Amino acid sequence: MSTNTSPLSPRSSQNWSVEFTVSNYYGGDRDRDDDDSKPLYGRGRRVLMRVIVLVCVGALVAPGIASAMSHYYVIAHTTCARAAHYSDPATQTTRATFEIFGPGGIGWECYATSASGERHVVSLGMFPVDVVPDGPVNRA
């Protein structure tokens, strides 16, 4: 009679039992939250993704800013014309400009040109609104 000496044989004298645990499956005694491995994507791909995201956010925001600025431009010019003609009926031309270091700080400034030269009429602020500047009460 021959004896089976294969290590996988049930009659083998060796004990081949293996304990299967979750910690062994995920890398032994290491904590699963330890992230010692390299990043999922390389540096070049991460930079490319950041650039794409910034371009897309800019593409979403830029039309709103452009639209608001065009509305503020129209409001500033019409308000400037009204304020300049109210304060001095002899006003020939008006201009409204957005200035950072203007007389009223950051915002829209109104200038009028008449026979005596150019003068500052009123500061309209960052978001121009209709104003009535100081001027003659009775123009008759």
Q: What is the C-alpha separation between 121 and 93, in angstroms, rounded? A: 12
Asked whether residue 133 is assigned to any structural domain, the reply reads no
**Which strands make up the sheet holding 93-102, listed edge to edge?**
93-102, 105-114, 117-125
Enter the DSSP assignment of 30.
S
| Alpha helices (runs of H) in the chain, residue ranges in sequence order | 22-25, 43-87
Q: Report residue 104 as tokens.
A: 């009223």
Q: Does residue 21 lie in a domain region? A: no
Query: In sequence order, what are the residues at sequence separation of 6 or more whose Cβ sits closer than 8 angstroms to the Cβ of residue 61?
Result: none
The Cα 16–Cα 127 span in angstroms is: 81
Look at residue 77 in the predicted model and tell me its pLDDT. Answer: 93
* Number of domains making up the chain: 1
Per-residue pLDDT tens for 103-125? Answer: 888 999 999 998 888 899 889 98
Range(s) of the domain holding residue 60: 43-125
Residue 7 forms part of a structural domain: no
- The residue length of the chain stands at 140
Higher pLDDT, 137 or 91: 91
CB 133 within 8 A of CB 91: no
Q: Please state the rounded mean pLDDT for residues 59-82.
A: 94
Tell me, yes or no, if the pTM score tops 0.95.
no
pLDDT mean over 119-135: 79
